[in-house]
Structure 1
Amino acid sequence: MGPADPRDGPAGGARQDAAMDLAHHGDAEVGPGLVDLAVNVRRDAMPGWLREPIAAALTELASYPDPGPARAAVAARHGRPVDEVLLTAGAAEGFVLLARALRDARRPVVVHPQFTEPEAALRAAGHAVRRVLLPADDGFRLDPGLVPADADLVFVGNPTNPTSVLHPAATVAALARPGRVLVVDEAFADTTVAPDRPGEPESLADRRDLPGLVVVRSLTKTWGLAGLRIGYLLGPAALLARLAAVQPLWAVSTPALAAARACAGPVAVATERRIAARLAADRDHLVARLSALPGVRVEGAPASAFVLIHLAGAARVRAALRERGFAVRRGDTFPGLGADWLRVAVRDTATTDAFIAELARILEA
C-alpha cells in the first residue's frame, strides 16, 4: 500500500467524517495555578491609548453600537473602501458567517493542519468538508497543487495555527481564481516580521486584485482582547454584503468597536511592529532552548506566537507538565497531527527558561 494522498483526509482517510474534537481549544488546557503556554494571547499590560477608549465606551452602553467610525478606521488602515470591511465578534464569528452565507458552495476545502473553527463552522452549517493535509515531512508548507481545482470555497491559515508556518504571499495568492472564495485566516499576521521588509510580510490584507479573496483578521491576540471579541473581514463589497445579511444585529459591542478604532490607528500599528520584533526574539530563545533537548524536534521555522514540537510520548509529557505547573496545547485535535505533537506559546525568556527546566527533568525521567 502506497502513501496516503494528502487530499484523502487524516491518516489516509480515517475519521474524515468525524468532528475529531474540533471544538477543543487552548483555553481548555488552562487551569488555576498553571503557567499558560497553551493560549496564544499576549498577556502584557494594556497600553493607555487602548484602555482609555474602551473604558470611555462603558459610558455609552445605553445606546446601540455604531460600527461606522471603527469600519472607517479599519478601512483606512488597509487602504480599502469602507464597504470592503465587515467587523465581527472575534475572527471566529467570521468563519460562521462565511459558512452560513455561502451555503451554495458545493466543494468546500479546508487546508490542515490549521485552526479548527473554519471546519467546525462549515460542518455546523451542513457543508460536506474535504480536507487537504499538508505533510509534516515537507514542513507543512503550502502546495497549491494539493487543493482540488474544483474547490469553490477554500480556507487556509497564514501564518498557520498550530504549525507557525508563514506561507509566501505569492503561494497563497495562487489559490485565488474566478468562481472560488479564498478565505485566508490572518489572525496572527500581526505577529510576523521580516528583517528586510516593513509591515506584515506575506499578508494579503491590502490586496484588492485577487478574485474572491476574504482575509480574516483578529485583534484579540496581540492586544490581549480575547474576552472582548473583536475581529474583521476584508473582501469584495458584494461578498461581504452577503455575510452581513446573516450576521445578527449589533453583533459587535460598543467597547469592542472602540478597541477596533484604536487598534487601527498609527500609534497602534507602530506599537504592533515593536511587539512583533520583541516576540521574534523571545521565539528564537524558545526555539533554541527546545532544540537543545534530546528527543524534541521543533517543526520548521516558526514565524508566529507559538511553536509546534514533536516528541514521542507527548501525551505523557503534557500530563507531567501539568503536574509541575505548566499548560501546553495538545496537538492531536488538529487534523493532520497526532499524539506526538504539542504546541507551545511564546512567552518572555524567564518563563521559557522555567518551562524548559521542568521539561528537561521530565524527559530525563
Structure 2
Amino acid sequence: MSDQPSTATPPTGVEPDLAHHGDAEATAGLIDLAVNVRRARPPAWLADPIAATLTDLARYPDPAPARAAVAARHRRHPNEVLLTAGAAEGFVLIAQALRGVRRPVVVHPQFTEPEAALRAAGHPVERVLLDAADGFRLDPSRVPADADLVMIGNPTNPTSVLHPAQTVAALARPGRVLVVDEAFADTTIASGHPGEPESLAERRDLPGLLVVRSLTKTWGLAGLRIGYLLGAAELLSRLAAVQPLWAVSTPALAAASACASAVAVRAERAIAADLAADRDHLVARLTDLPGVRVVGRPASAFVLLHLPGATAIRAALRERGWAVRRGDTFPGLGPDWLRVAVRDRNTTDAFIDVLREIMEA
C-alpha cells in the first residue's frame, strides 16, 4: 500500500478556500443551482411537529425520544446515535475529540468541512486525491496503511459518485476511525434495492466506523440544523464529551423524530426516484452541449461538470440570473469545474438554454 498520499493542490497551484460553500453564491434574486438543499416545503407530517414545539420552548431539550427514533430506523441501540446541530457539527466534534490521532487522511474531492474542522483543531491533514480520469472512483489501496483517521463522502459531494459499500468498508480496520459522510445517502436509489444502496448506516461489525448523516438536504431544513452520527457507543461517548450541552434544539429534535418515521422513509424513497429521473434529464441535456463533460455516473442531488472557461461562464450565468457552485474550492479540482444542483425539468431546460447561449457567445 502507498505510504504517501497525494497532497497536490488544484491545477492553479492556489490552495483551495475550504471555508467557501454554495450558500455564498446563491444570493438573493438568483435562481439557485449552487446549494444542494431541496426547495419543496416540508410536508405536514414534518412541519406540524416542528411547529408544535414552539409553544414549549421554556423547557430544555430532551434528545432521548429523537435518539430512540433514529436508532430504530437504522436498527441500532440508542447509545449508538449522537444527535448534532447539522452534520457540520459532527465533523467539529470528531476533530476535537480525536486529538490523539497521528495521521488523519481526507479523501478528496469531497465536502470541505471535514478537513477544515481537522485543521482548525490543529491536525496535520493529508489528502488522497481521486482521479477524474478514473471517474473519481475510490481505490482503498491509495489510503496509507497507518492512517488512523480516514474521512470520505458517500455519495461524495461534489462529484456525485456513489462508491460501493464493500469498497468503503475495506477502509475499516482496528486502530483506525473511518468517517463516512452520508449526508446525501437518502438521495440515492438502485433498481431492486428497497433502501439506500451502498450505505453503511446499519453496519455494526466494522471497527471504528462513524457514519455522518444530515436531515437538512432532502427535507429543506438547512436553517434548523439537524443531523446525527452513528457508531459504537464507546466512540460516540468520546464525541459527546466535547459537545456543548443541549446542542440540538427542541424543534430540531422534533424534526429528527419525524424524519425517522416509516412515513418519512417511504417519502424519501419516492423523492429519490423522482430525483433520479430529473438527474438523468439534466445529465442528458448537459452532455448535448459541446465542451461540457460530466464525469462518472452521478448518483445524488447534484452533478459535477468539467467546462473549460468555467470561471467566466459562471460569472456570465450570474449576470443572467443563475447561481452555480464553483469547483476550485474543492481540493483536487480547479477553475474549470462547476457543480450544478438537480432541479425540476423546466428549471433544467431554462438553465441549459441560457448556458448554451453563453457558451455560443
Same fold at TM > 0.5: yes
Structure 1 residue aligned with 2:272: 276
> What corresponds to 1:92 in structure 2?
88
The CA deviation string for residues 137-172 of structure 1, in whole angstroms up to 9 with x for no partner, is: 100000000000000000000000000000000000
2:88 & 2:246 partners in 1: Cα distance? 16
Hey, what's the Cα distance between the residues in 1 that align with 2:63 and 2:192?
36
Aligned to 1:36: 32
- The alignment status of 1:205 with 2:204, answered yes or no, reads no
Report deviation, 1:46. 1.1
Looking at structure 2, the residues matched to 66 and 13 of structure 1 have their Cα atoms a distance apart, in angstroms, of 49
Q: TM-score, normalised by structure 2?
A: 0.98
- Selected match of 2:355 from 329, 352, 359: 359
Compute the RMSD of aligned alpha carbons.
Answer: 1.4
| Contact 2:4/2:144 (8 A) holds in 1 | no
Which residue does the alignment assign to 1:237? 233
Q: Secondary structure at the match of 1:176?
A: coil
SS in 2 for 1:87: strand
C-alpha separation between the residues in 2 aligned to 1:155 and 1:14? 25
Q: Residues 39-59 of structure 1: CA distance to partner in whole angstroms, max 9, x if unpaired?
A: 000001210000000000111
Task: Evaluate the alpha carbon distance shift between residue 14 and residue 132 of structure 1 in structure 2; reply closer, same or farther with a 3 A threshold.
Answer: farther
1:276-310 C-alpha deviation (Å, 9 max, x unpaired): 00000000000000000010001110000000000
**Match for residue 346 of structure 1 among 318, 342, 345:** 342
Cα deviation, 1:107-155, whole Å, max 9, x if unaligned, reads 0000000000000000000000000000111000000000000000000
* Structure 1 position 20, deviation (Å): 2.4
**Is 2:43 the counterpart of 1:10?**
no
* CA–CA distance in structure 2, aligned partners of residues 152 and 6 of structure 1: 14
Contact kept in structure 1, 2:327 and 2:333, CA below 8 Å = yes
User: What displacement does 1:227 show?
Assistant: 0.1
Identical-pair percentage: 78
Partner residue in 2 for 1:122: 118
Is there any run of 5+ residues in structure 1 with no aligned partner, and where? none
1:12 is displaced (CA, Å) by 8.6
Measure how far apart 1:196 and its partner are. 2.1
- Aligned residue among 328, 339, 342 for 2:324: 328
Matched, 1:227 2:218: no
Does residue 310 of structure 1 match 2:328? no
Aligned residues: 359
TM-score using structure 1 length: 0.97
Listed as ranges, the gaps of 5+ residues in structure 2 are none
C-alpha deviation, 1:19, in angstroms: 6.0
Determine the C-alpha separation between the residues in 1 that align with 2:42 and 2:120: 35
Contact persistence 1:19–1:120 (CA under 8 A):
no
Structure 2 SS opposite 1:63: coil
Report the residue type matching 1:213 in the other structure.
Answer: L
Distance apart, 1:10 and its partner CA: 2.2
Letter in 2 for 1:218: S
Out of 260, 267, 278, the residue aligned to residue 263 of structure 2 is 267
Match 1:290 to one of 276, 286, 289: 286
Equivalent-residue separation in structure 2 for 1:78 and 1:6 (angstroms):
36
SS in 1 for 2:32: strand
Out of 250, 253, 256, the position equivalent to 1:257 is: 253
2:102 and 2:5 map into 1 onto residues whose CA distance is 16
